Amino acid sequence: MRTSTTLIAYAGGLAVVFAAALGVGAVTGSPIDTMSTHSDDHGAAAPADTTGPAAPAGLQVSQDGYTLSEITAPGGPGEPGTLSFRILDVRGEPVREYDELHEKQLHLIVVRADTSQFRHVHPTLGADGTWSTDWTWPTGGTYRVFTDFQATGAPAQLTLGRNVDVTGTLTPAPLPNTSRTANVDGYTVTLDGDLTTAGGPLTLRIERDGVPVTDLDPYLGAYGHLVALRTGDLAYLHVHPEGEPGDGVTAPGPDVTFHAQAPSAGTYRLFLDFQHDGAVRTAEFTVPVGTAAEHAGAVTAPTATHEGGH
């Protein structure tokens, strides 16, 4: 396990699952209800263009000779079905062998464009190279599907993304207020530290009913998983905490510390998955990111608490 992963959303980024009701502080449940499919690119991936700077992770459908295929899913909200896709190699053939990353060969994260719906799940790989999972979309709208994986023999981990349009009435959700505290199912999660373009530590402290949680369950080889999404384009960042369960040093809470670096200034949505008493929960935050100079000496003002369903 990598003990420190930057939030830089460059090539080789990392890994989210939708719950039937997504939002701040919801329990991760069965895969998102199905989506209608919308795709922009077709065919096999072309060799990677190495002449320019790397794009943030999750914004490309093809990278380094790998392509996320079209996505098949239910067309409207509330329609049970299957979400499926393939990862294609440079010849257009489905990839069938993957390295394990945090106990899974592929992490699937799905987020609605306004970040009001979020989910992190793990589909099943078929013998023909097709990934699939039961799926139902909670609402209509445009969703971004992120696939976080490393093909066996590939030099780096990749995050490829593709949009899917789900039919139905869409009521855009306003961006939640800037927040350093999230409440979910009786748990309070407090964020300490600033997400900046220079990088640095972010510590999330987990309490339940005012009592620090000191017996977090290991979840996918860690005591927490943090995904950050830049609002506007959903540039994707996935980091894992410092240390790991069973290393003799890392405590199972209440503090979970990550080293994170944002690729640019802007507003980001943070989603922390943690497991306690056998259930996975997600705490959500909205944070501004400026330059290191802008953050130096800054005083953090009180912020609103954002609560909701996942």
Q: Look up the domain containing 53 and give its range.
A: 17-166
- Residue 270: per-residue pLDDT: 98
* Together in a domain, 190 and 260: yes
Predicted local confidence at residue 290, as pLDDT = 85
Backbone angle region of 91, left / alpha / beta, with phi > 0 → left and psi within -120 to 50 → alpha: alpha
**pLDDT value, residue 172:** 86
Give the pLDDT score at 47: 43
Per the structure, the count of domains in the chain is 2
Domain final residue pick, 105, 140, 166: 166
Distance CA 181, CA 193 (A): 12
Q: Give dist(CA 9, CA 277) in Å, integer.
A: 32
* Last residue in a domain, options 166, 189, 208: 166
Q: Tell me, what's the pLDDT at 186?
A: 96
Three-state secondary structure readout of 113-177: CCCCCEEEECCEECCCCEEEEEEEECCCEEEEEEEEECECCCCCCEEEEEEEEECCCCCCCCCCC
211 contacts: CB under 8 Å, gap ≥ 6: none
Report how far apart the first and last C-alpha atoms of the chain are (Å, whole number).
27
Phi, psi torsion values for 274, nearest 5 degrees: -140, 155
pLDDT for 171 equals 85
Low-confidence stretches of the chain (pLDDT beneath 50): 1-52, 292-310
Cis peptide before 254 (omega within 30 of 0): yes
Same domain, 102 and 49: yes
